[in-house]
Amino acid sequence: HILNAQVSVRAACCKRWFDCPQCHAENSTHDLKKTDEIIFLCKKCKKAFRKDINECEEADEYCPHCDNQYVVEAKTPMAALGVEGEDARVDNRLIKDDRAKINNSSMFDKDASDKLG
């Protein structure tokens, strides 16, 4: 699956919108129909536009309505090993605080009896 999809693509076979071919395969009982004309829906401005695969140019990497670049390197889910915990904004006990502690002692906390007159 593509995690950073900037557009949805309308499948020519079932007229439904999907972010990637894997999404279509998981949610449909038929194969994806191949076509030369692709209909896109920009996720930034929510406007649809058509592109012909046979006539793609470098300028076709951007939405014609809002200039959002939709041809970007795909980010796919990867397995990662990490520590699971609650939301750090609620429970931050798993986060190490590397800041130096400031000594907030008062002059009244110290024994200053020898300085009294």
Look at 14-18, 32-36, 95-99 and tell me which has the smallest mean pLDDT.
Answer: 95-99
Asked if the model's pLDDT at residue 91 lies above 70, the reply is no
Structure tokens at 85: 């915990």
Strand pairing class (7-10; 37-42): antiparallel
Asked if the model's pLDDT at residue 92 lies above 90, the reply is no
Asked if the model's pLDDT at residue 45 lies above 70, the reply is yes
C-beta separation of 5 from 43 below 8 A: yes
Q: What is the pTM of this model?
A: 0.57
Q: What residues have CB less than 8 Å from 51, skipping those under 6 apart? A: 37, 38, 40, 60
How high is the pLDDT of residue 81? 64
In angstroms, the Cα distances linking 81 to 78, 84 are 10, 9
Asked if the model's pLDDT at residue 16 lies above 80, the reply is yes
